[in-house]
Structure 1
Amino acid sequence: MNISVITWLGSGNYGTSLQSYALCQKLSNLGYNVSFLSYFDKDFKLKSFLKGMFASIGIMQQREKKMFEKTDALRKLYSFQQEKYKICHIYFPNQYKELLYQTDVFVTGSDQIWNAWYNFNPFYFLDFAKDKKRVAYASSMGTADFPEKYKADIKKLLSRFSHIGVREQTAVNAISTLLQQNNIVQVLDPTFLLEAHEWKNLAEEAEIEFKLPSKYILCYLIGNNPHYAEQLISVKKAYGIDDIIIIPAIENKTFHIPGATVYTAAGPKEFAYLIQHATLVCTDSFHATAISINLSVDFVEFLRFKDTDEKSQNSRIYDILEHYNLRSRLYSSETDEWTRKIAYSPVQSQLAKDRTKSINFLINSIEH
Structure 2
Amino acid sequence: MVNIGIITLSASYNCGSMLQSYALKEILKQYGNVEIINFSSDASHAMYDFVPNTLMEKMILNFKCHGIVNKLIQETKSYKDFQKDFLDIRGKEYFNKDLADIAEKYDVIVVGSDQVWNVCMTDFDEAFFCNWTNKKKVAYAPSLGGHDIRDSKDKDKYTSYINKFDYLSVREKTGKECLEDITKRNVVKVLDPTLLYGDDNWLKLAEKPLINGDYIFYYSWAYCYEELKNIVKKRSMETGLPVYVIDAHKWMNYSYKNYGFKLYEKSGPEAFLSLMANAKECFVESFHGMLFAYMFKRDFWLLDTHDSYNEIDARLRELIGLLHAEDRIVTIHGKNTIDFEKPFKYRDNMELHSMREISREYINEAIGK
Normalised TM-score (structure 1): 0.80
Structure 2 residue 168 is matched with structure 1 residue 167: no
Query: 73, 76, 79: which is aligned to 2:78?
Result: 76
Q: In structure 2, which of residues 344, 347, 350 is the aligned counterpart of residue 345 of structure 1?
A: 347
Shift of 1:316: 0.8
Q: Matched residues in 2 for 1:35 and 1:85: separation?
A: 8
Moved over 4 A (4+): 88-93, 95-98, 304-308
Structure 2: which amino acid aligns with 1:172? K
Contact 1:222 1:250 in 2 (8 A): no
1-10 or 142-151: bigger deviation: 142-151
Distance 2:105 2:324 in 1: 44
Instruction: Please state if 1:197 is matched with 2:200.
Output: yes
**CA distance in 1: counterparts of 2:287 and 2:280, whole angstroms:** 19
Amino acid at match of 1:296: K
Aligned to 2:190: 187
Post-superposition Cα deviations, 1:240-294, rounded to whole Å, max 9, x if no partner, equal: 3522112246445436353322214123111101111112211111111111112
Counterpart in 1 of 2:182?
A: 178
Cross-structure match for 2:355: 354
Change (3 A) 1:300 1:96: closer
Give the Cα separation in 2 of the matches to 1:288 and 1:280: 12
For 1:207 and 1:168, how far apart are their aligned partners in 2? 34
Instruction: Specify the alignment match of 2:102 in structure 1.
Output: 99
The corresponding residue for 2:49 is none
Contact kept in structure 1, 2:218 and 2:244, CA below 8 Å: yes
Aligned equivalent of 1:231: 231
Gaps of 5+ in 1: 42-46, 48-62
In 1, Cα distance between the equivalents of 2:77 and 2:93? 24
1:28-62 deviation digits (Å, cap 9, x = unpaired): 2x242101112379xxxxx9xxxxxxxxxxxxxxx
Query: 2: distance between equivalents of 1:248 and 1:226?
Result: 17
* In the alignment, structure 1 residue 125 sits paired with structure 2 residue 129: yes
Please, what is the CA RMSD of the aligned residues? 3.2
Aligned partners of 1:37 and 1:82: how far apart in 2? Answer: 12
Query: Using the alignment, how far apart are the partners of 1:231 and 1:355 within structure 2?
Result: 35
**Take 1:207 and 1:31, find their aligned partners in 2: how far apart are those partners?**
34
Partner-residue secondary structure (3-state), 2:226: coil
Q: State the alpha-carbon separation in 1 of the partners of residues 71 and 341 from structure 2.
A: 40
**Per-residue deviation, 1:100:** 3.1
Matched, 1:155 2:156: no
Structure 1: how far apart are the matches of 2:142 and 2:105? Answer: 23
Describe the SS at the equivalent of 2:330: coil
Q: Which runs of 5+ in 2 are unaligned?
A: 43-52, 54-69
Give the deviation of 1:85 after TM superposition.
2.6
- Alpha-carbon distance change, 91 to 244 in structure 1, aligned in 2, over 3 angstroms: closer
Cα 1:151–1:103 change in 2 (3 A) is same
Amino acid aligned to 2:120? W
* Worse overlay, 281-290 or 244-253: 244-253
Q: Deviations over 1:118-139 (max 9, x none)?
A: 255220011111x211111110
How far is the alpha carbon of 1:230 from its aligned partner? 2.3
Letter in 2 for 1:111: D
Question: Which amino acid counterpart does residue 129 of structure 2 have in structure 1?
Answer: F
CA apart distance, 1:90? 7.0
In the TM superposition, 1:83-94 aligns within 5 A as 83-87=85-89, 89=92
Per the alignment, residue 135 of structure 1 pairs with 138
The AA in structure 1 aligned to 2:301 is V
Does residue 33 (structure 1) correspond to residue 36 (structure 2)? The answer is: no
Counterpart secondary structure, 1:227? helix
Distance 2:160 2:312 in 1: 25
Contact 2:100 2:132 in 1 (8 A): no
Closer, same or farther in 2 for the Cα pair 1:281/1:353, shift >3 Å? same
1:109·1:138 contact (CA, 8 Å) conserved in 2? yes
* Number of the residue aligned with 1:59: none
TM-score normalised by L of structure 2:
0.80
Aligned to 2:283: 282
